[in-house]
Amino acid sequence: MADRFRITLAQLNPVVGDLTGNADKARAAWEQGRKAGADLVALPEMFITGYNAQDLVMKPAFHTAAIDAVRKLAADCADGPAMAIGGPWLEGTELYNCYMILRGGQIVSTVFKHHLPNETVFDEMRIFDTGPLGGPYAVGDVRIGSPICEDAWHEDVAETLAETGADFLLIPNGSPYYRDKFETRLNHMVARVVETGLPLIYLNMVGGQDDQVFDGGSFALNPGGELALQMPLFDEAIQHLDLERGDTGWRILPGVEHSHPDAYEQDYRVMVTGLRDYMAKSGFSRVLLGLSGGVDSAIVATIAADALGPENVRCVMLPSEYTSDESLADAEAVAEALGCRYDYVPISEGRAAITRTLAPLFAGTEPGLTEENIQSRLRGLLLMAMSNKFGEMLLTTGNKSEVAVGYATIYGDMAGGYNPIKDLYKTRVFETCRWRNANHRDWMMGPAGEVIRPNVIDKPPSAELREDQKDSDSLPDYPELDAMLEILVDRDGSIADCVAAGFDRATAQKVERLIYMSEYKRFQSAPGPRLTKAAFWLDRRYPIVNRWRDPS
- Strands 206-209 and 237-246, sheet pairing: unpaired
Closest residue by Cα to residue 151 from 165, 166, 132, 138: 132
Which residue in 25, 77, 98, 113 is the catalytic one?
113
- The answer to whether residue 155 is catalytic is no
- pLDDT for the residue numbered 538: 87
Which residue in 98, 149, 315, 433 is the catalytic one?
149
pLDDT tens, 299-352? Answer: 999 999 999 999 999 999 999 988 899 999 999 999 999 999 999 999 999 999
What is the average pLDDT across 85-90?
98
- pLDDT for the residue numbered 32: 98
pLDDT tens, 468-509? Answer: 777 777 889 999 999 999 999 999 999 999 999 999 999 999
- What is the architecture, at CATH level 2, of domain 264-347+373-523? 3-Layer(aba) Sandwich (3.40)
Q: In what order do the strands lie in the sheet with 393-394?
A: 341-344, 313-317, 287-290, 393-394
pLDDT tens, 183-235? Answer: 999 999 999 999 999 999 999 999 999 999 999 999 999 999 999 999 999 99
- The answer to whether residue 433 is catalytic is no
> What are the sequence ranges of the domains in the chain?
4-256, 264-347+373-523
- What are the φ/ψ torsions at residue 548 (nearest 5 degrees)? -75, 140
Does the structural domain 4-256 have CATH classification 1.10.1270.20?
no
CB 179 within 8 A of CB 267: yes
**Whether the predicted pLDDT of 1 surpasses 70:** no
Closest residue by Cα to residue 80 from 137, 123, 26: 26
Closest residue by Cα to residue 257 from 246, 241, 273, 244: 241
Q: Measured between alpha carbons, how far is 496 from 494 in angstroms, rounded to an integer?
A: 5
- pLDDT for the residue numbered 322: 87
Closest residue by Cα to residue 421 from 545, 530, 307: 530
CB 171 within 8 A of CB 146: yes
Q: Measured between alpha carbons, how far is 278 from 275 in angstroms, rounded to an integer?
A: 5
Q: Measured between alpha carbons, how far is 500 from 483 in angstroms, rounded to an integer?
A: 12
pLDDT tens, 139-182? Answer: 999 999 999 999 999 999 999 999 999 999 999 999 999 999 99
- pLDDT for the residue numbered 89: 98
Q: Measured between alpha carbons, how far is 94 from 541 in angstroms, rounded to an integer?
A: 28
Average pLDDT of the chain is 95
**Whether the predicted pLDDT of 426 surpasses 90:** yes
User: In 3-state terms, what secondary structure has residue 471?
Assistant: helix
- The answer to whether residue 113 is catalytic is yes
Q: What distance lies between CA 8 and its chain's CA centroid? A: 26
Q: Measured between alpha carbons, how far is 41 from 8 in angstroms, rounded to an integer?
A: 5
Q: Measured between alpha carbons, how far is 75 from 94 in angstroms, rounded to an integer?
A: 25
SS (H, E, C) 288-347: EEECCCCHHHHHHHHHHHHHHCHHHEEEEECCCCCCCHHHHHHHHHHHHHHCCEEEECCC
The neighbour count for residue 147, using CB atoms within 10 Å, is 28
CB 347 within 8 A of CB 373: no
Provide DSSP, 502-545.
T--HHHHHHHHHHHHHTHHHHHTSPP----STT-BTTTB---SS
Q: Measured between alpha carbons, how far is 128 from 424 in angstroms, rounded to an integer?
A: 32
Element (H, E) at 154: none
Q: Measured between alpha carbons, how far is 140 from 6 in angstroms, rounded to an integer?
A: 12
- pLDDT for the residue numbered 504: 95
- Report percent pLDDT > 90 for the chain: 90
Q: Measured between alpha carbons, how far is 423 from 332 in angstroms, rounded to an integer?
A: 26
- Between helix 295-308 and helix 426-438 the angle, nearest 10°, is 50
Q: Is the dihedral of CA 419, 424, 426, 428 positive or negative?
A: negative
CB 384 within 8 A of CB 361: no
CB 440 within 8 A of CB 549: no
Q: For residue 506, give the amino acid letter.
A: A
**Whether the predicted pLDDT of 296 surpasses 70:** yes
Closest residue by Cα to residue 190 from 172, 214, 176, 171: 171
CB 75 within 8 A of CB 105: yes
